[in-house]
Chain A
């Protein structure tokens, strides 16, 4: 009897402690109505940016194109979410595989079953390493997604600067 009552007392104590300690209440601050998505803010004028970085997302379809093309966003078509997730995965994979070599964002195109990844690269590595990495990503991605994957890369000496912000 004494044992049981001791246990219940402990449990009650525990529960009260849990309620009091780490009191979680909602904190709120004033709303910041600025939009900060994919924007590089204007600075001193010494920072070179590419065309892609300089134009903000609201310029898409006005002065910018789309980085990823597939039919799933058309009326009555399925698979938009799957394609988006695939795109994100591909971008991260290639950012990591070709770390420091990418000059600009990836362009991903889908022609039916075929997945085409267009990349602009800097000449950071010797060519045979590039060939190996391209083959490696193509093989890996085609096994992941069960569809043919092609990479078309173009080499640049340096990043193309659009303006200085």
Chain B
């Protein structure tokens, strides 16, 4: 069986025979066949060895009579899911639509569906008609269970299932199923749903560092250090457990927490408190000798001092806003009787 031949006899459409010398062209540009002649590149044995130019009979014997396409015998109300039960490429003899696809030749129309490679190239959804999807749903129903009726709102879901674990599965085209990114696990939990007191909460926030989001009060733990998803999930749960238990413990060195370490401003024992007490003491009329301790208690108990304390705490914790500054101004005016 000769694969390549140096000279090929081609009968072109104008009816003249000419010999094209040189090696046969590469890839797909075959010399075109019409019914009346045959090529040197046929797979059958013995024909080319004769070397005769007229081999029309042999060519015609190999032609099969074209059977009418299936589309002719399709009724309008047929079951389309039987024609395209699964994803398959476009078959022009099975799709009874006069589809045309391609860029038209000048003063012509797009090429017809028969032998149209463009229609085969594109992915089609002929196997996913609404009928077909209904059938799929019916087939899947026996495997489904009802959603629990008690969980009818997001709040309830969060209340009963505070820890949310996210993982991604990847599907791609290729011989291998494995994707290393599928091992990553993200665990999110709201701190309000955990049983923490003030100290434990502050310590947990400090331990988690960047993983805590103040605005949404969520702790997010992402693990990808283990090779398997199950291992990463176990590690994330372990981290959460460790954080929780450690935050409840109080270490010996925690007593050395200074004012600079505090997360938020506390008015008691602050320079502001000292200053205001001194000012108020000085404002008292002279001559009244009372106990320091009692004076302090009395002063601190006054409403104006409480207001001043609130406004200063707000200013320091939340920053300077219009309302905060107004509040501070009012409090100071009241205190100093301006």
Interface residues of A (CB under 8 A from B): 40, 46-53, 55, 59, 63-67, 69-72, 77, 79, 82-83, 95-96, 99-105, 107, 109-113, 116, 118, 120, 122-127, 129, 145-147, 152, 154-164
Q: State in angstroms the CA–CA spacing of A105 and B30 once bound together.
A: 11
Contact A160 B89 (CB under 8 A): no
* Given A49-B29, A64-B118, A163-B105, 6 additional A-B pairs, CB 8 A: A66-B121, A105-B28, A107-B121, A145-B175, A147-B175, A160-B116
**A residues less than 8 Å from B91 (CB atoms):** 152, 154
Taken together as a complex, chains A and B put the C-alpha atoms of A122 and B42 apart, in Å, by 12
Does the CB pair A52–B174 fall under 8 Å?
no
Q: A65-B121, A109-B89 are in contact. Are A40 and B115 (CB under 8 A)?
A: no
**Assembly CA distance A64 to B3 (angstroms):** 30
A133 closest partner in B (C-beta): B43
Q: What's the Cα separation between A64 and B110 when bound, in Å?
A: 12
- Majority secondary structure, B binding face: loop
In the complex, residue of chain A having the shortest beta-carbon distance to the beta carbon of B170: A77
Cβ B39 vs Cβ A100 within 8 A: yes
Q: What is the bound-complex CA distance between A138 and B120, given in angstroms?
A: 19
Cβ of B88 and Cβ of A71 under 8 Å apart?
A: no
Q: Name the contact of B33 in the complex, choosing from A95, A107, A110, A158 (C-beta under 8 A).
A: A158
- Report the minimal beta-carbon distance from B132 to chain A, rounded to whole angstroms: 16
Q: How many residues of chain B get a CB closer than 8 Å to chain A's CBs?
A: 46
5 intermolecular pairs with C-beta atoms under 8 Å apart: A69-B121, A69-B123, A105-B117, A154-B92, A156-B114
B173 touches A110 (CB 8 A): yes
Mask, B82-120, CB within 8 Å of A = 1, is: 000001110111000000001101000001001111101
Known contacts A79-B172, A154-B91, A163-B105, A52 near B28 by CB under 8 Å: yes
CA distance A126 to B44 in the complex (A): 10
Residues of chain B in range 26-45 having any CB-CB distance to chain A below 8 Å = 27-30, 32-35, 39, 41-43
For A63, give its contact among B13, B102, B123 (CB under 8 Å). B102
How many residue pairs at the A-B interface have CB separations less than 8 Å? Answer: 134
Q: Check A51–B118 contact: CB distance below 8 A.
A: yes
Nearest chain-A residue to B35 (Cβ)? Answer: A158
Question: Is the pair A123, B174 in contact by a Cβ cutoff of 8 Å?
Answer: no
Report B104 CB to chain A, min CB distance, Å.
10
Q: A51-B111, A105-B28 are in contact. Are A82 and B121 (CB under 8 A)?
A: no
> What 1/0 mask marks residues of chain B from 306 to 322 whose CB sits below 8 Å from any chain A CB?
00000000000000000
Residue B252 at the chain A interface, CB threshold 8 Å: no
A66 neighbours in B (Cβ, 8 Å): 121
Is B12 within 8 A of A46, CB to CB? yes
Q: Does B21 contact A (CB under 8 A)?
A: no
Determine how close the nearest CB of chain B comes to the CB of A64; give it in whole angstroms: 7
Q: With A104-B28, A154-B92, A160-B114 given, is the CB distance from A110 to B62 under 8 Å? A: no
Q: Quick check: is B275 within 8 A (CB to CB) of the other chain?
A: no
CA gap between A47 and B12 in the complex, in Å:
8
B14, CB-defined interface residue at 8 Å: yes
* Pairwise interchain contact A103-B115, C-beta atoms closer than 8 A: yes
Check A120 against B117 for contact (C-beta < 8 Å).
yes
Q: For residue A161, which residues in chain B have a CB less than 8 angstroms away from its CB?
A: 32
> Do residues B89 and A116 form an inter-chain contact, with CB atoms below 8 A?
yes
How far is the CB of B78 from the nearest CB of chain A, in Å?
21
A71 touches B172 (CB 8 A): yes
Q: Which residues of A contact B88 (CB under 8 A)?
A: 152
* Cβ contact of B173, chosen from A55, A72, A107, A152, cutoff 8 A: A72
Partner of B123, one of A46, A49, A109, A158: A109
| Cβ of A85 to closest chain B Cβ, rounded Å | 12
B173 touching A111 by the CB < 8 A rule?
yes
A122 to chain B: which residues have CB within 8 Å? Answer: 33
Chain A residue nearest in CB terms to B41: A100
Residue contact A159 to B115, C-beta cutoff 8 Å: yes
Who on chain A is nearest to B118 by CB? Answer: A65
Known: A65-B122, A124-B62, A162-B111. A70 touches B28 (CB 8 A): no
